[in-house]
Amino acid sequence: MKKIILLISLMAIFLSGSEINPKDSLTDVLRNSDGKVVTDFSKNAFPIKGIHEKLGLDCKDCHKEKNEKDYSSAMNSSCLECHGSYKKLGEATGHLGHNDNIHANPHYEALDCDTCHKAHKPTVNMCLRCHTQDSMKKLEVK
């Protein structure tokens, strides 16, 4: 079964017309949100933005993986090292009120930080996918 999946993956890459260096292994081939093959994992390709940029943070301050190619956006533990527990975040944003306090979210006890907060792209107010009240629309995600 693994061989079939590998074969299908290779065919998909080949048929997509992407330029892939034959020296790259499948684990070295990553795609960005536009579907283009990424081989540059530097700060030039993934600039740090927002408050993290203003604080002068470096990639390794959040990404704990040793190799840049292994960096992941699934890093709640890194976020919470600086920002505190989810409960503490809920208390810090308590001024938003019960219905608008996204960090005291009734839907998820520990929603992944990168669901809304993006370090390399504009952030997204995911609440608006379902909620339409004006107060939710005014929430600013930083």
Report the candidate in 23, 51, 41, 29 with the shortest Cα–Cα distance to residue 119.
Answer: 51
State the total domains in the chain.
1
Residues 6-41 have pLDDT tens digits of: 556 656 555 555 444 444 444 455 666 677 777 777
Q: Is residue 17 part of a domain?
A: no
Residue 62 has pLDDT above 70, yes or no: yes
For residue 45, the domain's CATH number is 1.10.1130.10
Q: Is residue 60 part of a domain?
A: yes
Distance CA 57, CA 90 (A): 24
* Host domain of residue 103: 26-138
Q: Would the pTM of this model clear 0.75, i.e. be above it? A: no
Predicted confidence at residue 23, as pLDDT, reads 47
Distance CA 68, CA 43 (A): 10
DSSP 30: E
